[in-house]
Chain A
């Protein structure tokens, strides 16, 4: 397939031929697009149409195909020709469905379609068939960091799926927090009382598993490599290290309880009769071992009443304590109150809460607690007084609207979970050492030792859509390191992360991308001769995929790469490209359109739309017949992060009147599928004003906006508003110079 042979197919179905002259498009494809084979078809996606293309591939040795029909997001099964290079011109959703049907606008609608054909023809000639990453990494073992509930679940799930597993646990035994609980909140019907944690059985299953290898008393001294070929140095107790090779990593490093000594106003650290939830579990376990009821720690006296203070040092607005809710603690307090009620219904137990949050089947559990006589009272605790052996909990009763107090022999503070996420790599190095010196993974990545964090030390993940995805490909966070959670959720989380890890090793072994371009065979290729060692790509890659060699040239680790193209957008000398997506493949489209002159009253607006959200929203706009300006030409991009400023300057120099970029929301609650892409694009575009001024152009000629996939009505509106703005500022003076 060394010779390129191009073909263009223009579909007449779905009403296209009724609205447009496909003949004219065919002429455009042939004359201007220089396509070697050009065919129209009445119904291209039916068996006969598809067969026509197949025949051309087989008999005419066609290697590059441009299909002008529906959106590239439609009929992907019919138009699936993996052996050739393909692009699509969207003349259905993008033209006839988004444009009104009337004779007056016939001309500009046809112009739109013709331009999409020109663009498709220009693009296809710049594309190559992706061959898959050359350095295929085939190690399929999975490393699990952490031997608690999440870690053991991930280990067992992966092993049962047939994969070799290595578990690293820093304590001398497995089990984590779960092993330090007397009982747990029930995960199965009928949700009426504390249940067995199941951790012993899980430990036994993992320990005895032929495919699981366990390192106890061990930490990770260093992690290098990439998915499919991670080299992990495991430091044992003696300090000696062993090296394990693995393909993917599940980080289930769990949490540390919030330090109760930081809560002296709640009696933390001031009396042995004030404990946190973990402290209570310990008291209950000790009592059970000795076959006696729980005693008051200060004097061994009888426990007649217990008060549970919810949200202790959590959901704190003052900035002193944890700002978030740890999610499990209400259910945990109910469970702990039941320990007492089940043993002796005469013991008084009161749970003081501001909001009782009982996720999962917790509502049933809560009701059962009430039924057992646990007193629940909505109140804000101000102080726990610890004089003598009895504590007094002072609070404002929020129902009775008065100050209240409870005397208790034992006070349990529901403190929160602090994630064990290692070093925050986004803060300056001096501060890193201060804030949390202990790294979990000790990655040798150029961008830092641990997984990037989003907020409050929790590892970054796409919270709603892709929860287990971190910003390091092949490394998945599971359990409370990712977000605060209870045991049932941790089990679910670990199972999900194990599946993702399996997917990652499989993709890596085939040289394919992992999430979200799962299966993509293209990968960034860098022309090092042109590289100026500016380091932008290594710094900006949201996934830490690029290291630097000793001469400070970028080293791409393909299996870490998500194929977002952010590096390609960043590169000032444009030496990074993909086989089928490059500065040229987009640039040539920008140059291919037929640019009307300054006096035509036909402005041209370039829309670079993120293919994850904005482009589907635009397709949807077409389906819903939300009409937008016929002066726009839309080009889908992998991510706004892949937009190279050269496209913008090329467009402006070429006489385009405006450039509009549509990407996902950025910021703390980002929606960007590549996390930083839209943010980076926004940042880069904030710098483009200077360029515009140099060209003597209005700054409004380039704009960025944030679009969600559901914005099908809004995208049309955004386009129309921008078109109105361009009409206002007038046609670009740059026309006719290119």
Chain B
């Protein structure tokens, strides 16, 4: 059966259950819509949580995984507090995002995703977040000229932070590092291995 014929069958739901953090909860949603109504970002999403869950159950695999909706979640936990079925909605949102990213199906220019990737790279390199580099990285994400323009616009704040001793320009070159960098890297490698061991469909 092609995707059209397996609509509303359990195929995609089972894939989500196996691969998405807390994915086994998706089937328990009773479609009350409380989450969508509670979400401060609800009106701005293409598919609020209730709808995403129904899409999973309807077998709309590509529509779900390509969606930028779950990337919009700010982890405010409003929905989790209110869901009468006690679904860990926030976790599922991030789980779906992570899974889409893993499969390479996440939208390429999604800002939350961009920032997450930048942050991950920045923090795993030395075991510590280098704030200056993270900020500048974000500024220059859209190209050199755009970076200069954003830096210039924010110069007042930058200078203020420097004066107050909250920002050190030399961090750009050397910066603080974690004492046991090797240890951090080994730990991350181990975690990646464990994750790999979890079943993923060949994608």
Contacts and interface: CB of A to CB of B under 8 A. Distances in A.
Interface of A: 305, 348, 350, 356, 366-367, 370-371, 373, 375-378, 397, 399-400, 404-407
A400 B55 contact: yes
A377 B27 CA distance: 11
A350 B58 CA distance: 10
User: For A305, A356, A366, A371, which residue has the most chain B Cβ atoms within 10 angstroms?
Assistant: A305
Contacts of A406: 7-9
Contacts of B8: 348, 350, 375, 377, 404, 406
A678 B60 CA distance: 59
A400 B51 contact: yes
From B8, B13, B54, B55, name the one whose CB has the most chain A CB atoms within 10 angstroms. B8
A376 B31 contact: yes
Q: Is the interface of B mostly helix, strand, loop or mixed?
A: loop
Contacts of B10: 348, 373, 375
B57 to A, nearest CB: 5
A377 B58 contact: yes
Sorting the interface of chain B by its residue count into under 10, 10 to 19, 20 to 34 or 35 or more gives: 10 to 19
7 contacts: A350-B9, A375-B8, A375-B57, A378-B31, A404-B7, A404-B58, A407-B7
Enumerate the 6 nearest inter-chain pairs by beta-carbon distance, A residue then B residue, closest first.
A348-B9, A399-B54, A406-B8, A350-B8, A370-B28, A370-B27
Contacts of A370: 27-28, 30
A367 B27 contact: no
Interface in B18-68: 27-28, 30-31, 50-51, 54-55, 57-58, 60
A555 B85 CA distance: 63
A400 B33 CA distance: 12
Contacts of A305: 9
A397 B7 CA distance: 12
B5 interface: yes
B54 A377 contact: yes
B120 to A, nearest CB: 33
Nearest to B55: A400
Given A373-B10, A399-B51, A400-B60, 14 more contacts: A350-B9, A366-B30, A367-B28, A373-B13, A375-B13, A375-B27, A377-B8, A377-B54, A378-B31, A397-B54, A397-B58, A404-B8, A405-B7, A407-B1
Contacts of A404: 7-8, 58
B22 to A, nearest CB: 15
Given A400-B51, A400-B54, A400-B58, A373 B27 contact: yes
B18 to A, nearest CB: 13
Nearest to B63: A400
Contacts of A376: 30-31, 57
Contacts of A405: 7
Contacts of B58: 377, 397, 400, 404
A521 to B, nearest CB: 55
Contact of A407 (B5, B28, B31, B60): B5
A112 to B, nearest CB: 56
A349 to B, nearest CB: 9
Contacts of B31: 376, 378, 399
A631 to B, nearest CB: 56
Contact of A371 (B5, B27, B54, B55): B27
A271 B128 CA distance: 67
B9 A399 contact: no
B7 A371 contact: no
A399 B7 contact: no
A736 B55 CA distance: 83
A305 B1 CA distance: 12
Contacts of A377: 8, 54, 57-58
Contacts of A367: 28, 85
A371 B24 CA distance: 9
A511 B31 CA distance: 58
A371 B13 CA distance: 12
Nearest to A377: B8
Contacts of B57: 375-377
Contacts of B7: 404-407
Contacts of B5: 407
A397 B47 CA distance: 14
A371 B28 CA distance: 6
A375 B8 CA distance: 7
Interface string B115-155: 00000000000000000000000000000000000000000
Nearest to A395: B8
A378 B53 CA distance: 13
B99 to A, nearest CB: 20
A19 B27 CA distance: 71
Nearest to A367: B28
A370 B29 CA distance: 8
A321 to B, nearest CB: 25
B86 to A, nearest CB: 11
B30 to A, nearest CB: 8
Nearest to A401: B51
B28 A399 contact: no
A356 B31 CA distance: 11
Contacts of A373: 10, 13, 27
Nearest to B27: A370
Interface in B87-121: none
